[in-house]
Structure 1
């Protein structure tokens, strides 16, 4: 796969199961005019995290290294371990969450899932609790088949949630694979703007917000996403 995106806006590489829509920093996402799967990348992302991007693209293209969750061991992990893993492997800002789980293969951490604390929803019942999946990722170009299901199973055994909800980034997927493990699409959220730094993802609501972020965090960059989809797994 060629790594020079500089002269492209829409890349349709032969043999890949997706298109890549590339945006200069000054542009916001637009529709490609195609019903095929499209991955949206920004110039700033490519500059700041090329190795993480290409590892994920490799997995999306079906060329990642496959291992199986049945060969791994699941365990709770601490805040420091999960933040280090996410900073090295995840494309978004690392979040510690409240509950953190990892999959280990021969003692090596290969996947993590981070959950928020259970949110009570009395309108659905006095004991109803919803947990949000905040972050999930594998290491490098690994694909742990059945990995997320195994991590969720451990959370369910520990805390007995009534549902698990999450948001998937439409920059990367228009048809979420989470539906294959029982998640249901609840709604689609409109595109948003964020100021991205190594430690924070700050929502942008006005031009003044951009100016403030540029002054306080000049090393960050403005990111326009394509929106997101909310999914819920009812248990």
Structure 2
């Protein structure tokens, strides 16, 4: 799966570079213009969804036209929004519950709710990991089917993707603090210097590397667990 991910990145490096620059643009916008940041965040989310489509397409060895890619990207965007909103709803209910119980103060409750949101969001992404490949491929694309399929190898995938996520996250934080001279003062800065822009480039590259690995694992699970017949093309990719 690592070699497959590397091959996909190498074959689509110019597209990846463009998407990374979009991510860097979002970081720059966040430092100078909150309004522009929200616009760039939306554009960046579409870019991430399009990259997921390209990865699934590469793993499945499918070659289709631009109209299909636009349609598949819209499907991935909508599914990503659905998972995000459901996780946000769960975190909001959790926040209201712990506030009504008067267990902790409001700021602590917000932090706990943020951790709860992250956990729910990650678990949902893992358990429904075949939802995106199924939607792109056009077979077995319902959420109910994806969850039933995702539960079959849930624990191994959760452990592997969780561990790899921590590794990639550690690399990102290392780059951020290295750019700040290993000082926590970077968290309060409003402007970006050259080192922080370079760290942003690295962070986005690492993030897309993890997304690529995630989609390769998800697509392989989709093919194996749904017994999708890809013939010799699939063997050539793996």
Sort the TM-score into its range (normalised by shorter chain).
Answer: under 0.3
Higher relative contact order (CA 8 A, sep 6+): 2
TM-score with structure 1 setting the length:
0.24
Considering fraction of residues, name the structure with more strand.
1
TM-score with structure 2 setting the length:
0.24
Considering fraction of residues, name the structure with more helix.
2
